Amino acid sequence: MYYIKTMTRNQLVITTISVIASLITYPLPSQAQVSDQPNNSRSESIPIRFILANPPLPDNGTPETKRGTGTRGDCLSKTEQPPLTYLGGENNFELTVSERPTVWVYVPYTSKEAPSGEFSLQDGEEDVYRTQFQLPATPGIVSITLPATKKPLEVGKTYRWYFDINCPASNSISQPTPASITGVIQRISPSIELENELKTAKTPLEEIAAYAKHSIWHETVTELAQLRLNEPENSVINDIWVQLLSDPTIGLNPIAQEPIVGGVITSSPQE
């Protein structure tokens, strides 16, 4: 039995249907299995079931947004690495319960290859947040978070964001690759069930399991990515991350093994 959530802008409707391969289940290891891991990731053996919501994009003719769109010029194609990719899953999972969520993007370029970039979050034609940024020195998965100085996202409203990188102008690019990517994000109110599960969670992994169970993709990815950054040698967390991204339903296998670099450097660090 498999739960798929479909969504309008103001509500989620849960439909139960029977399909094959219904749940993505990653059993968390027992205490004995992770005795050499840091304490804050230990947990009793429980399954993590990712119930994947597939909310529709806004009715504005926008394309699928997992990969770069090519709307801001091109960069040299790096055939040995995946292209610019949004960590939104194959079906652009967009749900968050955070007032100021985090967006994660895989960037195959170094700060020398793409010296600058721009991120914007928009409510229709209005900018909610816009900032210039610098990429880290090495390629990898980076993040950008709506700062505390900006107004929180409204519940039930869908926003669009743009992540653009600037590569040096060149007329000799024979195999260009898109340098821009876009996606949508919607904040919803956490259900009573989710709130209760978060309150009773004893470890960060149990909290992640709760977010995943309720289709809250942004918090699932953000919390797990932060665990990986905090505990880079923790094989348990690494395995869960790789299994999540590699699942065919998620569709992020090409970047599952890529390093998580962390946040980009914005032009307004005080925000």
Q: What is the pLDDT of residues 187-227, one digit of tens each?
A: 999 999 999 999 999 999 999 999 999 999 999 999 999 99
Q: What is the pLDDT of residues 78-131, one digit of tens each?
A: 888 899 999 987 777 899 999 999 999 999 999 988 888 999 999 999 999 999
CB-based contacts of 85: which residues, under 8 Å, 6+ apart?
Answer: 66, 67, 68, 105, 106, 181, 252, 254, 255
Domain coverage including residue 174: 2-266
Tell me, what CATH number does 93's domain have? 2.60.40.10
What pLDDT does 16 receive?
A: 32
Domain count of the fold of the chain: 1
Q: Is residue 271 part of a domain?
A: no
| pLDDT exceeds cutoff 70 at 18 | no
CB-based contacts of 83: which residues, under 8 Å, 6+ apart?
Answer: 67, 68, 77, 108, 177, 178
This model's pTM is above 0.85: no
